[in-house]
Amino acid sequence: MVNMEVLLSGIKLDNPIIPASGTFGYGAEFAEIYDINILGSLSFKGTTSEPRFGNDTPRIAECPSGMLNSVGLQNPGLDAVCKYELPRLAQIYRKPVIANISGFSLEEYIACARAMDEQEQVGIIEVNVSCPNVQHGGMSFGLTPEGAAEVTKAVRAATGKPIYIKLSPNVTDITEIARACEDAGADGISLINTLLGMRIDLKTKKPVLANKFGGFSGPAIFPVALGMVYKVYEAVKVPIIGMGGVSSAEDVIEMMVAGATAVQVGAANLVNPYACKEIIEDLPRVMDRYGIERLTDITGAAH
């Protein structure tokens, strides 16, 4: 009998599979088709202080082996999430969840972190540092070690819960940023967020997305994500949640061998709503095939 349990900052997960933020909502739609309590955890939709309608449409574009999205952090806002969405989530999912928070200023990150600190079901706070910093000309906090560290310190001071900083791959050296986050008090690193890309409509000769650019996700980015997880594992001592193009149990094992302790599944949920369920059910077969008895034994085995 294989053992799929993993330990993430003191929180025991029955398996390493976590739906990625923005691809699973608050779980309700998926709970209608299968018991989502089979999941290791789930990272619910990114939360900002105020409600956000998101970017103009069209904001989704298909690509070979992936997709572009420019949703723009659409969410009902911090108050609604805490008052309505999380109580509903608690009725259908009994395990600790991951709260993904975003902000356009340090004050917004702090407000979101403090609110999530008070939510009993939230076990980990995942901090998206890919948002434009309105106080510094729109540059994302996560594009520099200094900016990422600044957010990490602010959130660290606002909560006693484990914080994982979700990093953008659209940088020169992701290891420098990961180290800066670790030094600033991060308990873990989540990577990678989407790659920047675009599509052009040949009939109109204009970008398909209203926002012109969007985040590229799906199987095509898996090798990029895997390489960055491998590099960051050698750069930091804190745990890593790996993500980016994961769509099979084999991908999960590969991501863990590269250095991930747990693995998030994103775009695959949008193509196949049973993706996480099928990966979890297939993990024992893949573990047997490669002689793996316990998943905790393989994190970083490639190093």
Q: Tell me which of 139-153, 196-210, 284-298 is least confident.
A: 139-153
pLDDT in the model for residue 302: 98
- Mean pLDDT computed over 99-116: 96
DSSP codes of every residue in 48-111:
-SS-B--SPSP-EEEETTEEEE-----B--HHHIIIIIHHHHHHH--S-EEEEE--SSHHHHHH
| pLDDT band for position 133 (cuts 50, 70, 90) | low
pLDDT digits (tens, 9 = 90+) for 88-105: 999 999 999 999 999 999
107 lies in some domain:
yes
How high is the pLDDT of residue 134?
54
The total domain count for the chain is 1
Tens digits of per-residue pLDDT, 28-55? 999 999 999 999 999 999 999 999 998 9
Question: Domain residues for 130?
Answer: 6-297
For residue 1, tell me if it sits in a domain.
no
Q: Does a structural domain hold residue 162? A: yes
Q: Which of 63, 82, 112, 131 is catalytic?
A: 131
Active site residue 63: no
Overall average pLDDT of the 77-90 stretch: 98
Mean pLDDT of 249-271: 98
Does a structural domain hold residue 240? yes
Residue 221 has a pLDDT of: 98
On whether the CB atoms of residues 86 and 124 are closer than 8 A, the answer is: no
- Domain of 28, CATH number, reads 3.20.20.70
The phi-psi region of residue 260 (left if phi > 0; otherwise alpha if psi is between -120 and 50; otherwise beta) is: beta
Average pLDDT (259-279) is 98
Per-residue confidence (pLDDT) for residue 132, from 0 to 100: 60
